């Protein structure tokens, strides 16, 4: 594995004043994550654990996705999965639904949800609902409206999330 001397996005956020990255950095990092996800998704792979801890930066500010331990190859005919796996606060509602309903499925769009939660993490220092017990968060994520940014961010960023 390549050395990523700048650490994880989570480390970077925690080291900043106010536990928040500037919007320009969030935009750059999100774009690079999307580039990585595009490559994975074109190859029918779902990462399934996109979060700040699994996004590393090199000393040259190159963005690297890591921890493919729970990634999955999509079936070539169906293109969907039905296994409940990932980190609770970043999980898409459709992934959580697989725990309650064996017929529920999800696809690579669950990584896009997790990227949105990661963008909120970069902006606000933590993902939504992280003050709650993980099991409580798993209960609420599919039942609540999608999380939103606080009002201090640009309209473009709000629309992205």
Residue 47 domain flag:
yes
Q: List the catalytic residues.
A: 49
Stated pTM of the model: 0.86
Q: What residue numbers bound the domain in which 58 lies?
A: 7-155
Residue 12 domain flag:
yes
Average pLDDT over all residues of the chain: 86
Residue 133 domain flag:
yes
CA-closest candidate to residue 118, choices 38, 56, 58: 56
| CATH label of the domain that carries residue 37 | 1.10.510.10
Residue 160 domain flag:
no
Number of domains in the chain: 1
Residue 1 domain flag:
no
Quick check: 86 pLDDT over 70? no
Quick check: 68 pLDDT over 70? no
Residue 161 domain flag:
no
Residue 127 domain flag:
yes
Residue 62 domain flag:
yes
pLDDT in tens, 89-148: 999 998 888 777 777 777 889 999 999 999 999 999 999 999 999 999 999 999 999 999
Quick check: 26 pLDDT over 80? yes
Per-residue confidence (pLDDT) for residue 96, from 0 to 100: 86
Distance in angstroms (rounded) separating the CA atoms of residues 41 and 111 = 9
Q: Which residues lie closer than 8 Å to 15 by C-beta, 6 or more apart?
A: none
């Amino acid at each position: 594995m390549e050395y990523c001397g700048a650490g994880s996005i989570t480390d970077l956020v925690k080291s900043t004043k106010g536990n928040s990255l500037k919007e320009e950095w969030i935009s750059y990092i999100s774009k690079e994550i999307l580039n990585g996800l595009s490559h994975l998704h074109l190859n029918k792979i779902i990462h399934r654990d996109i979060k700040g801890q699994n996004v590393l930066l090199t000393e040259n500010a190159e963005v690297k996705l890591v921890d493919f331990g729970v990634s999955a190859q999509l079936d070539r005919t169906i293109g969907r999965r039905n296994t409940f796996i990932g980190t609770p606060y970043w999980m898409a509602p459709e992934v959580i639904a697989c725990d309650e309903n064996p017929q529920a499925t999800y696809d690579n769009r669950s990584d896009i949800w997790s990227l949105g939660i990661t963008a909120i993490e970069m902006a606000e220092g933590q993902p939504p609902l992280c003050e709650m017990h993980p099991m409580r968060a798993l209960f609420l994520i599919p039942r609540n409206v999608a999380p939103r940014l606080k009002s201090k961010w640009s309209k473009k960023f709000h629309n992205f999330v």
